[in-house]
Amino acid sequence: MINKTQTMSKTSKNTSLGVITGVFIFFLVLLGTNTFNEAYIQLKHSVVDEHIHAVLFYSLELIVLLFIAYGVCKVISNINEQKFFVKINYMLFYYMGVALLFLPLLHGLGDALDTAHDWKIIPMDVPVWSAMGTFLLIIAEIFRYGIRMKEEQELTI
């Protein structure tokens, strides 16, 4: 009887986490689609006009954003599998934080080197991106500390 109750509560936790995750990803996709459409128009003009700098920087920004989306999905997947304090989550948070700090720098370089396009069309609020990157680095350190505590607990009898 206890196992059935524990199984049911575990299932309900995973289901509510799955619903919340689905809603979060849905709104993330809605926000990203608008920004991507604006970036895609600029990228298309850059390819047609053969502006290599713009193509390079738009492509790098897109790769960074896709990596961050992959990282978020992977962390959520690990949490759904009850893998909280594992090294992969720490590494994902760390690299996503670095990527978010790198993104405004990349955008600024694109703006400086490509004078043929208006880079202001794609919103890049540096303090917000930097704050999110710093926040993810703090989360990464919390996870690293949690991993260390988990390892110490496993060694303690």
pLDDT in tens, the chain (157 residues): 444 444 444 444 556 767 777 777 777 677 666 666 666 666 666 666 666 766 777 778 888 888 988 898 899 889 888 898 999 999 999 999 999 998 888 878 877 777 766 666 566 778 888 899 999 999 999 999 999 999 998 888 6
Measure the CA–CA gap between 84 and 82, rounded to whole angstroms.
6
**Phi, psi (degrees; rounded to nearest 5) at 82:** 65, 30
In the DSSP assignment, the letter for residue 122 is S
**Region of 114 on the Ramachandran plot (φ > 0 left; ψ -120 to 50 alpha; else beta):** beta
Token digits for 16? 């509510």
- pTM score > 0.85 for this model? no
